[in-house]
Amino acid sequence: MHPPPANLIDSHGRVLRDLRVSVTDRCNFRCLYCLPETDAAAGFQQALFRRGSAPPAAPQVPRWQGKPPPLTFDEIERAVRIAVQLGIEKVRLTGGEPLLQPQLPALVQKIASLPGLRDLAMTTNGWRFLEKGQALRDAGLRRVSFSLDSLDRDNFRKITGRDALAVVLASIELAQKIGLQPVKVNAVIIRGLNDHEIVPLAQFAHDRQLSLRFIEFMPLDSGRVWNRELVVSGAEMLRRLQERLSLQPVASANPSETARRWALDGGAGEVGIIAPVTEPFCGHCNRLRLTADGKIRTCLFSAVEHDLGAVLRDGASDEAIRGFLRGVVWQKEARHHIGEPDFIQPARTMSRIGG
């Protein structure tokens, strides 16, 4: 094996430019594709699981308890600064729910000021955005993505465990008003739950001039209920959209972009489809993930993690940390193995990895 190169390049020749940073693995929603702990979610799982078997019991104690303390803002800032020095250009703050961090604008300000960083974004469920959105914008946040899996109040509550649709819609409106651009909306589509809302969600994006991303249901749920039968493929989503709406393909100069995109009628808003299950894009993946407790993950579905937190807290120099990151990235997986006989679902749920 050749030694790792100077920058963040893996052994398959991919250059990493995108870092996802989870600032907390706590969340105030209980989305059934992530932390399905509500009665409604449990009932849905039981109804849709394959006949003749039952899903494993969800853990009764949240998995973030009893683990090492989360990274401090200073530790996160140092890790991101060094990563940017190694060629990372885009940083996205995630969770859990990042707005549960009471001083998040302070972290945004630290990261936004780093030389060489081109883009700083955040993914949120929107619950606390109304109170913190302007402060985040003032601190240097440039883009935001909201989770919005349903436009129906009852269905939204079933999916998330929160009666919060009105709050999320108001948060989206505020994000547009204060100049975050583009404002994106993510919808995880699950057969039998919200796939009937694909066209209404796209129409919502058109009416609000938003960028909406439909995402295939992935095996990252704590209830281990995922199975292929619940996945609405990207091809099926596109077919349903084309039957009802006028779509114009949007070309992208970025081969690492995860979404195939279409402009909606008249150029008002757009939709994209992210299909990691049926149309993997691993060959162009340029992402690295840092969990809230300091672990580096080179793939959403990694079976191993690399303890950057321990390195940071062991008095390592910046050069030693650069060497650590180069070595970790060199080991990045060629691809995930969803749907293959040897696939093992990660021990962490999406909330503990960072979206």
Please say if the pLDDT value at position 171 is more than 90: yes
User: Residue 142 has which token pair?
Assistant: 């440039």
Tell me which amino acid residue 23 is. Answer: V
Instruction: Give the Å distances, CA to CA, from 175 to 19, 124, 168.
Output: 22, 12, 11
What is the CB neighbour count within 10 angstroms for residue 140? 16
The whole-number pLDDT of residue 229 equals 86
Tell me the C-alpha distance between 240 and 308, whole Å: 44
The whole-number pLDDT of residue 44 equals 56
Among 43, 97, 49, 90, smallest CA distance to 351 is for 97
Please say if the pLDDT value at position 354 is more than 50: yes
pLDDT band at 47 (very low <50, low <70, confident <90, very high): low
Instruction: Give the Å distances, CA to CA, from 106 to 113, 136, 220, 312, 352.
Output: 11, 9, 30, 20, 22
CB 237 within 8 A of CB 202: no
Q: Is the peptide bond before 96 cis (omega within 30 degrees of 0)?
A: yes
The whole-number pLDDT of residue 336 equals 60
Per residue in 251-265, pLDDT (tens digit) is: 887 777 778 999 998
Residue 149 DSSP SS3 = coil
Q: Name the residue ranges covered by the structural domains of the chain.
A: 18-353
Q: Which residue carries 């079976």 as its tokens?
A: 303
What does CATH list as the number for 18-353? 3.20.20.70
pLDDT band at 221 (very low <50, low <70, confident <90, very high): low
Lowest mean pLDDT among 43-52, 117-126, 209-218, 249-258: 43-52
Q: What is the DSSP letter of 92?
A: E
Strands 183-189 and 143-147: parallel
User: Residue 286 has which token pair?
Assistant: 């340029």
The whole-number pLDDT of residue 281 equals 66
The whole-number pLDDT of residue 340 equals 54
pLDDT band at 227 (very low <50, low <70, confident <90, very high): confident
Does residue 225 or residue 332 have the better pLDDT? Answer: 332
